[in-house]
Amino acid sequence: MSGATLDRDAARDEARRTAQRQRLRAAWNLSRGWRYFANVNNQVVGLWYIITAFAFFLFAGVLALIMRAQLAVPENDLVSAATYNQLFTLHGTVMMFLFAVPIFEAVAILILPQMLAARDLPFPRLSAFGYWCFLIGGCFVSGSIFFGAAPDGGWFMYPPLTTDTRLSGIGTDIWLLGLSFIEIASIAAAVELIVGVLKCRPPGMRINLMPLYGWYVLIVGGMILFAFPPLIAGDILFELERLANWPFFDAARGGDPVLWQHLFWIFGHPEVYIIFLPSIALLAMIVPTFARRPILGYGWIVLAAVGTGFLSFGLWAHHMFTIGMPAISQGFFSAASEAVAIPTGVQIFVFVATLLAGRAVYGTPMLFATGALAIFVFGGLTGVMVALAPFDWQAHDSYFVVAHLHYTLIGGMFFPLMAGIYYFHPFVCGTMLSPRLGRWAFWLMFAGFNIAFLPMHITGLRGMPRRVFTYPENLGWETLNLVSTAGAFTMAAGVLVLLWDVLRPGKPKAPRNPWNAGTLEWVAGDPTEPWGIRSVPPVSSRYPLWQQEGLLAGIDAGAYYLPDAREGRRETLVSDPLDATPRQVLRVPGDSFRPMVAAVLVGGCFILGTFHFWIAALLSGLAGVGAILAWLWTGTAVIPEKPEKDAGMGLTLPLYASGAASVGWWAMFITMTGDGTAFISLVFGYFYYWTIHPVFPPAHAGGPGLLWPLLAVAAGLAGWGAMLAARAANATGRVAGARAALALAMLFSLAGAAAFLLGPWRTGLDPTHHAYDAIVWVLVIWAAVHNAVGVLMQGYCLAGSFAGKMTPTHDIDLRNVTLYGHFAALTALTTGAVVALFPLAS
Amino acid sequence: MLTGRPVHAAAAGRPGRVAVARRAAAGALALTLAACSGPQSALDPAGDAAEAIAGLFWVLLAGAAVIWALVIGAAVFALRFKTRPISERAGLRLVLWGGAVVPTLILSVLLVYGLRLMPLLRDPAAELRVEVVGEQFWWRVTYRPEGGPAVVSANEVRVPVGARVEFSLDAADVIHSFWIPALGGKVDMIPGRSNRLALRATRTGTFRGVCAEFCGPAHTRMAFPVVVMEPEAFRAWLAEQAREASPAGNETFLANGCGGCHAVRGTPATGTIGPDLTHLASRLSLGADLLPNDAASRARFVAEVDTLKPGARMPGFGMLPPAEAAAIADYLGSLE
């Protein structure tokens, strides 16, 4: 072998790699110019998401400053009571729904794929759709204050103050419909992220090797799935009461305002942990990097996070200790609330122990992490106090609680997020933030925060209730409030320093992996390369960059999986959920305006509906459904030009997967779990009424009868059976039979929907008369709508079969729709049993 | 004291210890404590429930301070002062003990300690019943003394010192919350249900209660004075309140329809929509503790109620001719 041959080989190799890089770059290139907003790749959408969420944070922060200015002195008249009520309602609402939860999804969308060495999330257009929904809904809700029409009932909107249209105006509708719209986007992002964690890991990254951030995303995604639907169910009941006078929360007509409190806090308490855990996840990435060692107690922290998530669903009633609950309930929820401190404590001690066992170095992210710890631990300790029912009887709804919740949220969410911003800034923007400005920002925020909120504990215990627009002199609150106001503005100055640092030009360029971290997101070199990772490495450790020799060089050389985009398509690896065996090369759809158009149209339906423009809202909604169908038709379940391809490293993988192997099936399963949770929340409402009424159903109401509900269940089950037959026939090549079965399924489902509605219609249940009538109507409407959506899906499959989009070997759609059918059948069965059979038993 | 301390012999030793703890904390934190006083302060208690909870708070606070210092001290030590890494084994032991075992023990003890207060604080055995109904944005108060007639009043609560008083709490429109921090914890007033709260004042004085649940535009303006009186003085006051008022000088009041919403017992004014005014001039304040109860304020309240209490159901009577307004104010001032 001569030197010339070697040179030639090397040159050929280099030429091959250059060609690979060019093809990858072409496939993943960002859309620019006017098509910039058609981008769907996670790096762009994630950044939009973060910027937008942060803008909402600044907006809500300004609202807070106005409130603090108003409260600086007693009997101040800077703003009126009416304005102040909008300020605090919007401050809480925006911080919770438009900042705290979305920023988690934003950060996860941006960094999770890189951590998993994936080139994108499995449903990029869904991310983009979620983003546009978030932007539109967020601007709608926030903008209302400029018209004096913002919601003004407090961010938990207790009826009957808010259900009575004489006492509350359009702001409440804006809150309900705007947020419902955003919640849908939140759930969509959660589905996307869960599937991303489960199915898009690199070969070999078994679930116990996954970066801790992945675990937290999985846990929080799951929590969103079970926490948001009860609120959506509550929103539906709430809006029906406002619009149509259905008395769910009206005590005079068999309803109960406390039902809303349950539904809201079943959402609202897990929400706190939905906000808190992703920020802890950032610390779980930062702390090992700065301790220069792997996390100590990986299993501990994962178990603790799961435990926190689980427990967080069992303590919602501690927000309701003053409603006059039985002592036994108060004791139970006190105990559960104390118990959640234990897994939280484990997570904190894992960090402390990791620092103790490592050789810690300092940096701005660690400064913020330490500050976070100091604030959060204090908030946790006051949490232990308010968890004790007797103490809460004093602290509840006072400034003590205001102080407590800000200590937990700012220490548990905001400061870790700041640490994350300093930590990930080089990864996202390629430049380093200034350590000097970082120290300024930190000390201003840290000191400002404590000056603002520490005195509030005392203000609250000296009797100042929350949500008052002013206060009299001589109650001893003047100095405390003035100090709090000064602190709030100091903290705001710190935020401005951070903002300046991020926006100022001329920051030094970051070296690659500037913190010398061990996880795969730091493979990212030049942030102008759009492909995420040059080639997908096999992973065999928790900190591959520390523990796998030569990995970085191999990745850069394109030595691993998917180093090429030979067909010019965007591709990423899909693997098994537990052991990450690669299963498929997934082609993800490219840039498109369709998600934006769909979001605008669906948003239009909600926004026009708020103003009672029913026809326009209906048209917008129908057009939105059409846009989504068009997007699905053109962008999903595309039959590839060849069955499989070379994925690199000698591995050949299929390009198409159906059923449980496909990401779509998982997304449907996860979505329907959330949908089922919303349904269960409505059923909970039904049985809640049963518990508060001595006679239920009430004597006046005959119920929906037996005949129609049972017919509806029978038709629904028949439709389900026809779906199963269609799937089986299609899989065995009997396409005509499958089409016939699908048509039959549509007929049965339609009949089921009609029969559900006929039940209470025929027996004359009047939903404005009594909460019982109303809840029965809601349940049958829910079931009927699920049948109707099923009809749409079955029709879609039928059309796909005729169009050649769905064949015996390429049947993703049919399998996913059948999966939907399982859930719809269960919904129908449960509805029938509850509305028709339960009255017989009770 | 009207009677000795009822029931719960088992708990009888506790308040003493709590008081000791409170005094110890007070000694150490004299300055802080000076900053804890006030007519509406839960840390300046005048009732046994508030005392027990304040004692609980000082204990919790002391414990919290120690735990906070230990945890943050460990983190800062690890970052700044540690010279040698601890072993992995030692680290895991720290997680086990610091994160799981010790918190479990502390929280268990705390839970037992905290929850044992519950029956003591929510004891129903009462010597006087008072019904309070929360309305936007005022309080309808009805005293139901044993063996005596019911006495209707509004926007002020008076109780005898040492007696256990049971408040029955209802809401007329939206959710309110009844909170007298100096006497004890709060309980919500919720449409469709009736809640109970037992309080026992331990010293005389004038305190302040508020609505603690946001209830609409004038939520801020929904408070009430609380007067704790010697039992004898209370009995005398209640007897006085039971008396009917004189109709003298009420012509303008009636002519403008005030009687449609307000009752002045013993006169043709029998409305029940708004507060009972029979002894208005004897109360400590006006408009749910919004204004002092003097002649000028009475006139101002009638004229400007719509701006003073946005969202209140009473319209402002600023359009009345001055003579009529003065006549109404005078009449209100006569309702001692």
Residues B49 and B170 occupy one common structural domain: yes
The mean pLDDT value for A674-702 works out to 93
CB pairs under 8 A between A and B: 279
8 Å CB contact between A784 and A753: yes
Asked if the structure places residue A488 within a domain, the reply is yes
HSE at residue B255, side-chain half, CA atoms within 13 A, is 10
Q: To the nearest whole angstrom, how far is the Cα of A435 from the nearest Cα of chain B?
A: 17
Instruction: List the single residue in A167, A258, A397 with the smallest CB-CB distance to B190.
Output: A258
* Same domain (yes/no): B94, B160: yes
What are the b/e assignments for A675-698, b being 16+ CB within 10 Å? bbbbbbbbbbbbebbbebbeebbb
Q: Are residues B8 and B63 in the same domain?
A: yes
Number of domains, chain A: 2
Q: Please give the average per-residue pLDDT across A362-378, as a whole number.
A: 96
- pLDDT for residue B123: 61
**Residue A164: CB atoms within 10 Å:** 17
Rounded to whole angstroms, what are the CA distances from A444 to A54, A249, A487, B75, B265?
19, 45, 9, 21, 61
Please report the pLDDT score of residue B69 as a whole number: 97
How far is A756 from A491, CA to CA, in rounded Å?
Answer: 56
Mean pLDDT of A755-781: 96
> Which domain does A836 fall in, by range?
672-841
Residue of A378, A397, A473, A477 to mutate, interface with B, max B Cβ within 10 Å? A397
Average pLDDT over residues A362-391: 96
Q: Do A384 and B110 touch (CB under 8 A)?
A: yes
Number of structural domains found in chain B: 2
pLDDT digits (tens, 9 = 90+) for B205-252: 999 999 999 999 999 999 999 999 999 999 999 999 999 998 889 999
| Assigned domain for A782 exists | yes
How far apart are the C-alpha atoms of A18 and A29, rounded to whole Å?
Answer: 16
Quickly state the pLDDT bin for A305 (edges 50, 70, 90). Answer: very high
Of B181, B192, B220, the CB nearest to A469: B220
Which of A314-318, A521-525, A682-686, B236-240 has the least mean pLDDT? A521-525
Put simply, the chain A residues between 219 and 258 with a CB less than 8 A from any chain B CB are: 251-252, 255-258
Task: Indicate if the pLDDT at residue B254 is higher than 90.
Answer: yes
- Residue ending a domain, among A503, A537, A569, is A503
Same domain for B66 and B205, yes or no, is yes
Co-location of B163 and B50 in the same domain:
yes
What pLDDT was estimated at residue B141? 98
Residue of B nearest to A389 (CA): B115
Q: Tell me if A464 sits within 8 A of A477, measured CB to CB.
A: yes
What angle is formed at CA A335 by the lines to CA A270 and CA A371, rounded to 5 degrees?
55
Cross-chain residue pair B186–A394, CB shorter than 8 Å: yes
- Give contacts of A 355-394 with B, CB under 8 A: 355-360, 362, 366, 370, 373-374, 377-378, 381-382, 384-385, 388-394
* A426-438 exposure pattern, b = at least 16 Cβ within 10 A, e = fewer: bbbebbbbbeebb
Gap from B168 CA to chain A (nearest CA, Å): 11
- Nearest chain A CA: its distance from B215 CA (Å): 7
B191: nearest CB among A251, A297, A393: A251
Question: Do B287 and B227 share a structural domain?
Answer: no
Contact call for residues A254 and A775 (beta carbons, < 8 A) = no
Nearest-CA distance from A8 to chain B in Å? 51
Question: In this structure, is residue B243 part of a structural domain?
Answer: no
Provide the percentage of residues in chain B whose pLDDT is more than 70.
Answer: 88
Residue of A nearest to B120 (CA): A390
Please write the tens of the pLDDT for every residue from A529-570.
888 899 999 999 999 999 999 999 999 999 999 999 999 999
Quick check: A173 contacting B, CB < 8 Å?
no
Contact B193 A258 (CB under 8 A): yes
Same domain, B54 and B156: yes
- Across residues B62-80, what is the average pLDDT? 93
Q: Does B6 score more than 80 pLDDT?
A: no
What pLDDT does residue B5 have? Answer: 33
pTM over the 0.90 mark: yes
> Is residue B327 domain-shared with residue B220, that is, in the same domain?
no
3-class secondary-structure state, position B277: coil
For the ranges A505-514, A588-597, A699-708, A751-760, the lowest mean pLDDT is seen at A699-708
Mean pLDDT within A740-763: 96
Most B CBs within 10 A among A388, A456, A459, A475, hence the mutation to make, goes to A388
pLDDT tens readout for residues B230-239: 999 999 999 9
Within-domain flag for A630:
no
Look up the domain containing B89 and give its range. 1-232
Structure confidence at residue B7 (pLDDT)? 33
Q: What is the mean pLDDT of residues A683-705?
A: 90
E-state strands within chain B:
128-135, 138-144, 151-154, 157-160, 164-171, 176-179, 187-189, 195-200, 205-211, 223-229, 285-286, 291-292
Chain B residue with the nearest C-alpha to that of A255: B192
Mean pLDDT along residues A609-620: 96
Question: Has residue A584 been placed in a domain?
Answer: no
Q: Cβ contacts (< 8 Å) between A370 and chain B: which residues?
A: 72, 75-76, 79
| Mean pLDDT of all residues in A787-791 | 97
Nearest to B40 among A341, A388, A463 (CB): A463
Taking residues A401-410, what's their average pLDDT?
98
- CB spacing of A327 vs B119 below 8 angstroms: yes
Asked, for residue B245, whether it belongs to a domain, the answer is: no
Distance from CA of B78 to the nearest CA of A (A): 5
Neighbours of A443 (CB within 10 A): 15
Residue to mutate among B82, B174, B187, with most A CBs inside 10 A, is B174
Shared-domain flag, residues B212 and B256: no
| Strands B157-160, B223-229: pairing kind | parallel
Interface probe, candidates A340, A342, A382, A393, chain B, greatest B C-beta count within 10 A: A393
Put simply, the answer to whether B85 touches A358 (Cβ < 8 Å) is yes
Answer yes or no: do B177 and B319 share one domain. Answer: no
Q: Round the average pLDDT of chain A to a whole number and report it.
A: 95
Domain contains B97 = yes
Q: What b/e string do you get for A171-195 counting C-beta neighbours within 10 Å, with b at 16 or more?
A: bbbbbbbbbbbbbbbbbbbbbbbbb
In the structure, what pLDDT confidence band is assigned to residue B9 with cuts at 50, 70 and 90?
very low
Question: What's the rounded mean pLDDT across residues A582-608?
Answer: 95
Cα dihedral sign for B121, B123, B129, B135? positive
- Asked, for residue A727, whether it belongs to a domain, the answer is yes
A812-832 vs A707-731: helix crossing angle, rounded to 10: 160
Which of B232, B260, B290 is the last residue in one of the domains?
B232
A12 HSE (CA, 13 A, CB side): 6
Give the number of C-alpha atoms closer than 13 A to the C-alpha of residue B197, restricted to the C-beta side: 29
Say whether pLDDT at B286 is over 50. Answer: yes
Residue A132 lies in a domain: no
Q: Which pLDDT band, with edges at 50, 70 and 90, does B115 fall under?
A: confident
> For A461, which of B41, B94, B118 is closest by C-beta distance?
B41
d(CA A423, CA A433): 9
Residue where a domain terminates, one of A483, A503, A523: A503
Asked, for residue A695, whether it belongs to a domain, the answer is yes
Give the pLDDT mean for A704-722.
96
Residue A381 has pLDDT above 60, yes or no: yes
Interatomic CA distance for residues A826 and A719, integer angstroms = 12
**Omega within 30 of 0 (cis) for the link into A465:** no
| Residue B17 within a domain | yes
pLDDT, residue B14, reads: 43
Distance CA A130, CA B239 (A): 67
End residue of a domain, out of B205, B232, B259: B232
How big is the CA angle at A144 (ends A138 and A149), to the nearest 5 degrees? 145
Looking at the structure, do residues B195 and B260 belong to the same domain, yes or no?
Answer: no
Digit-coded pLDDT (tens) for B23-69? 565 566 565 556 788 999 999 999 999 999 999 999 999 999 999 99
For residue A119, give both structure tokens. 């080139």
Strands B195-200 and B164-171: antiparallel
DSSP H or E run through A574: strand A571-575
> CB B174 to CB A160 under 8 A?
yes
What percentage of chain A has pLDDT greater than the value 70?
Answer: 99
What crossing angle do the helices spanning A663-692 and A812-832 adopt, rounded to 10°?
10
Residue B15 confidence (pLDDT): 45
Q: What is the mean pLDDT of residues B74-99?
A: 92
- pLDDT above 50 (res A300): yes
Query: What's the mean pLDDT in A460-472?
Result: 97
What pLDDT does B34 receive?
Answer: 64
Phi-psi region of B160 (alpha: psi -120 to 50; beta: other; left: phi over 0): beta
DSSP SS3 for A561: strand
Residues of chain A neighbouring B44 (CB-CB closer than 8 A): 462
Which of these three, B198, B232, B266, is where a domain ends? B232
Query: Is 60 exceeded by the pLDDT of residue A151?
Result: yes
Q: What is the pLDDT of residue B114?
A: 85
Residue B61: its chain A contacts at CB < 8 A? 385
Q: What is the DSSP string of B199-259?
A: EEB-S-EEEEEEE-S--STTGGG-EEEEEEE-HHHHHHHHHHHHSPPP-TT-HHHHHTTGG
In angstroms, the CA A827 to CA A823 distance is 6
Give the CATH number for residue A730: 1.20.120.80
Does residue B171 fall inside a structural domain? yes
Same structural domain, B278 and B217: no
Among candidate residues A469, A484, A503, the one where a domain is terminated: A503
Smallest CA–CA separation between A355 and chain B, in Å?
6
| Average pLDDT, integer, range B67-83 | 91
* Residue B4 pLDDT exceeds 50: no
Distance from CA of A296 to the nearest CA of B (A): 7
pLDDT computed for residue B32 by the predictor: 58
Classify B144 as helix, strand or coil: strand
Residue B104 lies in a domain: yes
Contact map slice: A 266-305 vs B, CB within 8 A: 293, 296-297, 300, 304
Distances (CA, A) of A438 to A443, A486, A508: 9, 21, 14
In a domain, residue A615? The reply is no
Q: Within an 8 Å CB–CB cutoff, is residue A503 touching chain B?
A: no
CA distance A195 to chain B (A): 31
Strands, sheet with B164-171, edge to edge from the N-terminal-most edge strand: B151-154, B138-144, B128-135, B164-171, B195-200
- A49-60: pLDDT as tens digits: 999 999 999 999
What's the confidence (pLDDT) of residue B147?
84
CB contact under 8 A, B104 and A335: no
Instruction: Please report, for the domain that includes residue B255, its CATH number.
Output: 2.60.40.420
Tell me: pLDDT of A408 over 80. yes
Task: Flag if B72 and A476 touch (Cβ within 8 Å).
Answer: no
The helix (H) or strand (E) run that includes residue A308 is helix A298-311
d(CA A707, CA A689): 24
Q: Which of A352, A391, A463 sits opposite B56 (nearest CB)?
A: A391
